[in-house]
Each structure stands twice: as structure tokens, then as C-alpha cells.
Amino acid sequence: MFNQTKIFLFLFLLLSLFVFIDCYPCDYNVGCDDGDECTGDSCSIDNLCINIIISCDDSNLCTSDSCSSITGCSNVPISCDDCNACTVDSCLPLIGCCHAPMVCDDCNACTVDSCLNSTGCCHTPIVCDDCNACTIDSCLNSTGCCHTPMVCDDGNACTNDGCSSETGCNHLPISCDDCNACTLDSCSPITGCCHSQISCDDCNACTLDSCSPIIGCCHTQMVCDDGNACTNDGCSEETGCCHTPISCDDGNSCTNDGCSEETGCCHTPISCDDGNACTLDSCSSTTGCCHTAMVCDDGDACTLDSCSQTSGCCSSPISCDDGNACTNDGCSSETGCIHLPISCDDGNACTNDGCSEETGCCHTPISCDDGNACTNDGCSEETGCCHTQISCDDGNACTNDGCSKEDGCIHLPISCDDCDACTVDSCSNEDGCIHLPISCDDCDACTIDSCLNSTGGCCHTPISCDDGNACTNDGCSSETGCNHLPISCDDGNACTLDSCSPTTGCCHTPISCDDGDACTLDSCSPTSGCCSSPISCDDGNLCTIDSCSPSTGCCHTPISCNDLNMCTIDFCLPNFGCVHRLRPSCHNYNEIGININ
């Protein structure tokens, strides 16, 4: 604007060189001074006064050059203020006013630097909230926003500490189940999971108590065999194994009964020698040693042949009474005494029939013990001994029933382990093995619960709550499952339209503050929104009428300086307005209207 003024003034002065060279008679005795400091006065060789308008141009575009007829040239510094607080205004003599954009960078990464034409630089603090409850949001002047992860350790070894971007820290109880049926599982806040060994003592001295990690306590029947063939081995629940000496009595009076730990009962024949030459020594299994008198036959069967214990036989008439209740006695001279055995058969297969010389017939019950604890031994008068297999069925589906010849019935616990980590194995006395599926429900709606035999039991797979919508914060509640909370896209800036795209997330579209009025300066404040301030159309030129059109903006209409006076030269100086210079050739000063010298 000021450059145009300079050009206008230069053209005006150039024109004046031609217009204001007034020539009128002069001589060297009378000066040509026209009393106007703005003209150079001289007298030509033709004795004509020449009054040439001087040039006040100082070749400095930073001054407004003018001339006063009284004081002469003046070079007033121009104002380069463009009324814009966002520029640094200066002036260079060769090019004029310069308006360099102001640098509003405050070297603070925590502010958004901008500039308002009305107020200048403004530094709006940035918002560092990352909408993540798991970070501590702050700002460093050097680097900007920083989001420090929150420490969620609650110092409790019994919780899994985590963090949700929506709710912050969470502390979920850990599972201390070690899948070992032999431990009591608990948790200490200081040391974490504890697994105390359970006691499997069933207070039965006849079982070996142990524990299986899968099924728990096991009570195995104790083997009480002491390796001694001379004892019957048994067990008492109160005292444990007991070893009762067996009876080795074989019912035979002709043996000495004993027992060897290696072989069991042994029966050694006894000696029946009575040292009497008159007896024949023998032994009866029923009665023991028998010492039968030696027959000292003298050829007469009816004589009593006797014998001396030391010398032997001697003969005397005999008495055929043998004193034996088991014989019928008689005598034949040919044969001598006759002692016919009586019949002691009682027709009972369950007795051993014998005869006692003293008492006569005797019937001793036979022993039907077959040494087999797995049979019931009995006897039939018709057929003799009978051995019926005993039943070892204890009516318990949880035992394998068998029989040992030595110990009798044996009831060994069956194994119900189905080698499936996903079942709890147990046994019912009525139905036998039971395999119940274990419950893998962790009461967490955020996991899919299942059981894999290959991995050793329950597994809890986290579900995915991603709804594919960038406009929601996806999370999960252990009570209700997935939740999708709308995010806030409000950027706190009144100069943007905030919206959300499910694909890309928050969008902040700058609003248009153009009010369609070219006479206003439109801007936007992040705090209050659009604002329109009137522009200044003052061009600093007193030679124009400044106005503004809403459609086209500022307009500067040149004023008319014509004072309708022929004795003045009318022109306009931007800094002073209309100028009416008196023509030197005009002497009718009374007709001059306005004369600014």
C-alpha cells in the first residue's frame, strides 16, 4: 500500500516539473524567491524566474516524503503495523514494510502452539489422557506425553495381578489345585500355594497305607507270611500280623511229632525195644508201642510156652485166654491156642476201626482236614471224607475275590484308574468302578472351559471380545462376559466436528468458520469455537475513502480534491490529503479556497 503511495507521489512530482516551471521576468538585482520552500528558485540567462518544485524523495521506502512550503521537505517514518499480532512488522528502506510470520514455538512438547491475529501466540496444553486405566498419564516438556504402566502388584502371592484398560488393576485368585489327590491345597498371601500331605492312616494294622496322586488314599492288604512253615499266618486289625504255631500231631502214637521252619511238620519213628527177650516189639499207630510175647512153641499147641526175660522160652500148659478182648480164644493140639480176631467194622466210613486188647473194638473218627483253607472239610458215613469249595464272594464289587490254600479267602482292592485326567475315579461297593467327569467350570464368563486328557485336565481358553469396531473399548467381565463400551471422541476442541468410524476410530474434521462476509476476519478458538472480527480497511491514505463490501471486501475510493479554483493546482498527498497549490502566474489570491503550503 505504501509503495503505491510512493509511486503516486513520484509521478505527481515529475508532472509538476512540467506544470510548475513558471517563467516570469527577472533580473539579477531582484531575486526569484517565491517564498515557497518546496521550490528551487533561479533566474535564467533570459532574465526569467524559474521555480522548479524540488524532490523530497529520500529513496527510503520506510518514510512518507512530503514538502511544506514553509518548512520544506519532511521524511516521516511510515507505520508498518498490519494489526496482525501473528506477524513481526519491520521496514527495509529498499523494499518497504515486511511482515514476517511470528514463530510461536515455545519448545514445550506439552502444548499446541498457534497464533490468533487478535491476541498473538497461544499455547494450549495438550491432552495426554490415553483412555487407558493401566497407565499414569503425564507430560514432559522435552518429549511430550508419556504413559507410564501402572504397577498392579498387590503383594499377595494368591492372586494373579493384571490390568484392564477400562477398569484398571485387577487381582484374580489363583488356582492352587495341584491335581494331586494326596495333598490338601491352600494358599498363603506371603508364600503362595501350599500343598500339605494328607494322612491315609485307616487305623488298620493289616493294611499298607499309601496315596495315589490320581485316586487318593490306597489301603493294600498286608502279606503276613513269615516264611515259617510251623505257623499259621493271620492278621489282627488292632495288632497286625500274628503267627500261630500249627499242630503237628499226626494221630500216630508211633512217631515223635516235631516241626521244621523250612519243611514244616516232621514225624520221627519212636523206639519200642523194651529189652525183653520174651517179647516181639512192634508199634501200633493207634496205641503206640506193642510188645508181643514171643511164642515158645514146644510142638504142642496147647501148652503154655513161657519165656524168661533173660533166657527165653519155657513151656507149661497154657491158658488160651490171651486177655485180648479183640480175639475169641481156643486151643488145638495141632495148632495150639486159637485167637480169632473179632470183626470191629462198624460200617461207618468216617471212622478208623480198631480194637483194644483191653476194651475191645474202638472206632476213632478219621481226620478229613485236607490242609486246604479253601475247602470246607466234612465226612459222609457212606463215602467218607468230602471237601466242598468255599465261596469267597464278599459281596463287594470293589474287590477281586480269590482263595489261598494257606490263608483262605483273599479280597484285593481293584484299580479304578481309567487313565483319564478328566474323570474322578472311585468305587461303589454295590456297582464297582465309577468314573465321574470333573467340573472344569472356573466361574469366569471370559473363558471357554474344557478338559483334555492329553494335557492333564482342565483348560480355560480366553475368549476373544474384539467386535471389530474401532469405536468401542472391548473388555470382558468374569461375571457377564464380553462388553463393548463406546469410546469418547471428544477432543475438547470446539474447532472440530468429532465423530467415529467403526473401521478407523475417532475422526476430528475441522469446521468451516467462513461467515461469507469479506469484511470480517474469521478464525476459530479451540475453547469457544468460531469467531469473526471486523477487518480494518484503513489504507493509511488520506486520498481515499475506505469502506468494505461484504461480497468483495475492502475498497478504497479516491477522493476528489477539485476546489473549482482555476488559480490552484489541486492534488492529493496520501499523508496530508488534498493540496491546493497557488499557481505562480495567478494573482487573484482572493479566489483561492484552500491553500496548503
Which of 14, 46, 47 lies closest to 28, judged by CA?
47
Instruction: Determine phi and psi for 421, rounding to 5 degrees.
Output: -65, -10
User: What DSSP string runs through 527-559?
Assistant: TTEEEEEEPP---S-TTEEEEEETTTEEEEEEP
- Contact 257/250 with Cβ under 8 angstroms? yes
Q: How many CB atoms lie within 10 A of CB 36?
A: 21
**Type and span of the H or E element at 291:** strand 288-293
For residue 456, what pLDDT is reported?
65
Tens-digit pLDDT profile for the chain (597 aa)? 444 444 444 444 444 443 343 444 565 445 688 888 898 888 777 677 888 888 898 889 999 999 998 898 999 999 998 899 899 889 999 888 988 898 888 898 899 888 988 888 999 898 888 889 899 999 998 888 999 998 898 889 899 988 998 888 999 998 888 888 899 888 989 998 998 888 888 888 898 888 988 888 988 888 888 888 898 888 988 888 998 898 888 888 888 888 988 888 888 888 888 878 788 888 888 888 888 877 776 777 777 767 777 777 777 777 778 788 888 888 887 877 788 888 888 888 898 888 888 888 888 898 888 888 898 888 988 888 998 888 888 888 899 888 988 888 998 898 888 888 888 888 988 888 998 888 888 888 899 888 887 776 788 889 899 989 989 999 898 889 899 999 999 888 989 998 999 999 899 999 888 888 989 988 898 888 898 889 989 998 999 999 999 999 899 999 999 999 888 888 888 888 898 888 876 644 333 333 333
Domain ranges of the chain: 21-78, 111-119+122-221, 231-291, 472-558
Question: What was the pLDDT predicted at 561?
Answer: 92
pLDDT for the residue numbered 2: 42
Q: State phi, psi for 4 to the nearest 5 degrees.
A: -60, -40
**pLDDT of 77:** 93
Question: What's the number of CA atoms in the CB half-sphere (13 Å) around residue 382?
Answer: 0
